Amino acid sequence: MDFLRRHLFLILCGIGAAGGIALGITGLQAMPKVGEEMKKSEAVYRNLEGLQNQPVNRSRIEAENRRIELVREDHAKVIDKAKELYGYELLVPEILPYGDPEKRLEFRRRYHAAMRDLLSSLKWGRPAGTSDVQNARDLIANEEAERKQYDANPNPLIPRPKAFEGPPKSPADVLTKAGAQTDPVARANLQVAQRIFCYARDFGEEKATDQIVPSLDFEPIMANLETADPPYPEEVWRAQLGYWIQKDVIEAIVAINEEAAKAITDASGYPWVGVMPVKDVISVRLFGGFISPQGDVYYGAAPGGTDKALPPGTAATVFTGSGSGESFDVVQFTVKLVMDQRDIPLFLERLSNGRFYVPLRVAYKAIPPNKKMTDKIYGSEPTVSVVMDFETVLLGQVFRRWMPKAVRDGVTCRPIDECEEPPQ
pLDDT, one tens digit per residue, over 324-351 is: 999 999 999 999 999 999 999 999 999 9
pTM for the model stands at 0.79
Q: Which one of 146, 174, 195 terminates a domain?
A: 195
β-bridge mates for residue 335, sequence order: 284, 388
Give residue-wise pLDDT tens across range 131-174.
999 999 999 999 999 999 988 998 888 888 888 889 999 998 99
Residue 7 lies in a domain: no
- pLDDT confidence of 24, banded at 50, 70, 90? very low
Phi-psi region of 268 (alpha: psi -120 to 50; beta: other; left: phi over 0): left
Same structural domain for residues 265 and 311?
A: yes
Claim to verify: residue 164 and residue 248 sit in the same structural domain: no
pLDDT single digits (tens) 244-260: 999 999 999 999 999 99
Residue 306 belongs to a domain: yes
pLDDT of residue 379: 94
214 and 172 share one domain:
no
pLDDT reported for residue 298: 81
For residue 233, the model assigns a pLDDT of 96
Residue 162 to residue 166: CA distance in whole angstroms: 13
> Cis peptide before 97, with omega less than 30 degrees from 0?
yes
Q: Choose between 66 and 345: higher pLDDT.
A: 345
State mean pLDDT over 33-47: 53
> Percentage of the chain with pLDDT > 70?
82
Q: Do the Cβ atoms of 97 and 112 come closer than 8 Å?
A: no
Do 347 and 252 form a contact (C-beta atoms < 8 A)?
yes
Regarding whether 322 and 281 lie in a shared domain, the answer is yes
Domain span at 70: 50-85
3-class DSSP state of 363: strand
Residue 29 lies in a domain: no
Q: Does the residue 12 lie in any domain?
A: no
What is the average per-residue pLDDT within 79-107? 92
Number of domains composing the chain: 3
Residue 178 belongs to some domain of the structure: yes
- Residues 6 or more apart whose Cβ sits within 8 Å of residue 275: 260, 264, 269, 379, 381
User: How far is 78 from 21, CA to CA, in rounded Å?
Assistant: 80
Structural domain ending residue among the three candidates 161, 195, 229: 195
Model confidence at 126, in pLDDT bands (50, 70, 90)? very high
Where does residue 22 rank: exposed (0-12), middle (13-18), buried (19+ CB within 10 A)? exposed
Q: Using the predicted structure, report yes or no on whether residue 27 has a pLDDT greater than 50.
A: no
- Cβ contacts of 163 within 8 Å, gap of 6 or more: 143, 147, 178, 181
Q: Which residues of 319-340 are buried (b: 16+ CB within 10 A; e: fewer)?
A: eeebbbeeebbbbbbbbbbbbb
Query: Which of the four pLDDT bands, split at 50, 70 and 90, describes residue 11?
Result: very low
Helix (DSSP H) and strand (DSSP E) numbers for the chain: 11, 6
Of 13-22, 35-44, 229-238, which range is least confident? Answer: 13-22
75 and 215 co-located in one domain: no
Q: Are residues 361 and 274 in the same domain?
A: yes
Distance (Å, rounded) from C-alpha 175 to C-alpha 64?
78
Note the pLDDT tens digit of each residue in 172-217: 899 999 999 999 999 999 999 999 999 999 987 656 565 679 999 9
